[in-house]
Amino acid sequence: MDRAVVPLASIEYSYGFGVYETIRVSGGQPRFLEDHCARLQASADAIGLEHNYQPSEIGQYITDVSRANEVETCNVKVLLIGGRSAAEASLYVVCLAPYFVDRKLYKTGCHCTTYKYERMYPHAKTLNMLPSYLAYRDAQKAGAHDALLINRRGEITEGTRSNFYTIREKTLYSPPESEILLGVTRSHVLALAHRQGFTVVEKPIPLEGLAQYEAAFLTSTSAKIVPIRSVDSFQYSSGQPEMLKSLMQAFNKTY
């Protein structure tokens, strides 16, 4: 039986010339499949990674792999690694154990640490993840759910593996799209927020200004919507506002 391998001599792989996606499979079905395939292509375009794979072809590979593994729930990881030409690019699709958030965090909120770092290609989900790995490792050591990345202006941009938002009254605030990864879950949460009557605003969110908001939360493929209880030494004094609870409930029912 043939096995998928990545040659250790591949300079493209060892130097991080590749992009990836993680797709949640639930009920045996890959979720937001077209969105993930489109973002994989957008990431490849952002770093000039040429390849001969079509989005529909990649989507079929993902579906086939998830079915072949006969799993109801898992994460499918897709790696697209560049080569010296489009013909030499390689695609890898593998099923991984699903990631489950501690369920109590959906009620109590999570703790986040911070890390000063700006990704070189914000819109590309690349294999060049060392700073994010180090930030997340430090967050885990501190008992945190994730680390929030802080830019040179002292503003929160995103988590190492999540998108970040704040809420005040009926307005949802997101960091500027030019500085963040455009998360697949994020796009569906923002669309749902509009339907729920939220005003959605893009604006810089300074770390020192968290107290002016009623709540903050994260979104990701695996975790959906996770409220934030605290960031470093700052802590939201009250529980989750009803509007955030309502958004979480609506997202769980819809998706």
Total number of residues shown for the chain: 255
Residues contacting 26, CB < 8 A, separation 6+: 72, 73
* All domains in the chain, ordered by first residue: 11-96 (3.30.470.10), 105-254 (3.20.10.10)
Distance CA(201)–CA(176), nearest Å, equals 9
Question: Which of the 8 DSSP states describes residue 198?
Answer: -
Confidence of residue 1 (pLDDT cuts 50, 70, 90): very low
pLDDT of residue 135: 98
Confidence of residue 237 (pLDDT cuts 50, 70, 90): confident
Reported as type and span, the H/E element at residue 34 is helix 33-46
pLDDT of residue 83: 95
| pTM of the entire predicted model | 0.94
Read off the pLDDT of each residue in 25-50 and give the average, rounded to a whole number. 96
pLDDT of residue 20: 98
Distance CA(72)–CA(69), nearest Å, equals 9
Residue 103: Cβ-neighbour burial (10 angstroms; 0-12, 13-18, 19+): exposed
Read off the pLDDT of each residue in 60-64 and give the average, rounded to a whole number. 96
Tokens of 22: 């993680």
* pLDDT over threshold 90, residue 238: no
Distance CA(32)–CA(255), nearest Å, equals 10
Read off the pLDDT of each residue in 59-76 and give the average, rounded to a whole number. 94
Read off the pLDDT of each residue in 71-95 and give the average, rounded to a whole number. 95
Read off the pLDDT of each residue in 11-20 and give the average, rounded to a whole number. 94
Distance CA(156)–CA(189), nearest Å, equals 19
| Average pLDDT of the residues of the chain | 95
